[in-house]
Amino acid sequence: MATGTFGERLKREREMREVSLKEVTTATRIGPRFLEALENEEWDKLPGGIFNRGFVRSIARYLGLDEENLLAEYDMAHGEQNLPVPQPYENKIPRPPVWIPILAVLALLAVLAGLIAGGIYGWRRYAAHRAAKRTSSSALLPAQTQAGTATVIPAADPGSSSAAAPLDLAVSTSAATRLRILADGTLLLDAEFSAGETHHFSARQQFEVTAADSSAVLLELNGRAMPPVGTPGASGTIVLTEKDLRQASGGTPQP
């Protein structure tokens, strides 16, 4: 339909029914200037939008015209399209806040840190336990006193260690006494001996023997009898070296 047809038809339909603009205004409550703007297609004088369509519908109803047909002519004349069909609602899943992934990463890092710390703590406990075990094992002296029984280092096989430990000391007791024996400055024994015990000790250079009762101890160095430790019935200390071994065999002491 050519431009101007809508306004012309609207005016013609009104005049055919011998209805004035004032009567239309009274019946539809549409201002005369809006009625004139519709008939003259002066769209810029109209409020626009749904108001214009409401005016057209009211005028068509008052004049007895088909409302939809008149609205279609108005749309074509005005250059408007029908209202756009509303787009279907998309139920989009809301995007999670940005801080949620950050919290997840921080939680994962905390778990990993806890696992690492637990592993380090466990390893340290294990290492400390092993170190304590080694320390307790090494702290045990070669000679210990347990329930009155002396534990001593047995003499080495003469055939295999004669060069490394040339001195062999045999200690025999005729009565109960306490003995303290050092070999090359190392404590081998500090314990109570009962009567009738015999023990052997090895050294490279010398022995130092201390007895609480000198008369209760008999010493032999490499199978040769040594002098008493001290005065009978009293405590005493004696130092035995290879020189004492030569003196016991009748030799002359050498420097």
DSSP 90: P
pLDDT of 163: 47
β-strand partners of 217: 173
Report, at the CATH architecture level, how domain 5-78 is classified: Orthogonal Bundle (1.10)
Query: Widest CA span of the chain, in angstroms?
Result: 172
Per the rule left: phi > 0, alpha: psi between -120 and 50, beta: everything else, 201 is beta
Residues of the chain with CATH 1.10.260.40: 5-78
**Spatial distance between the Cα atoms of 84 and 42, rounded to a whole number of angstroms:** 24
Taking residue 162's Cβ as centre, other Cβ atoms within 10 Å add up to: 14
Instruction: Report which secondary-structure segment, H or E, holds 224.
Output: strand 224-225
pLDDT at 81: 41
Residue 177, amino acid: T
Q: Which long-range contacts link 108-113 to residues 24+ away (Cβ below 8 Å)? A: none
State the pLDDT at residue 191: 94
Residue with tokens 């109570």: 192
Closest listed residue to residue 28, CA positions, set 65, 55, 67: 55
End-to-end CA distance of the chain: 147
pTM of full prediction above 0.85 = no
Residue-wise over 123-135: b if at least 16 C-beta within 10 A, else e? Answer: eeeeeeeeeeeee
Instruction: Give the separation between CA 73 and CA 1, rounded to whole angstroms.
Output: 8
Size (the chain), residues: 255
Q: What is the pLDDT of residue 88?
A: 54
Plot region of 126 (φ>0 → left; ψ -120 to 50 → alpha; else → beta): alpha
Query: Using one digit for the tens of pLDDT, what is the confidence trace for 71-104?
Result: 888 888 877 544 454 555 555 566 667 768 788 8
Residue whose tokens read 């314990």: 191
Sites in the chain below the pLDDT cut of 50: 1-3, 81-83, 85, 140-153, 155-163, 253-255
What 3-state class would DSSP assign to 143? coil
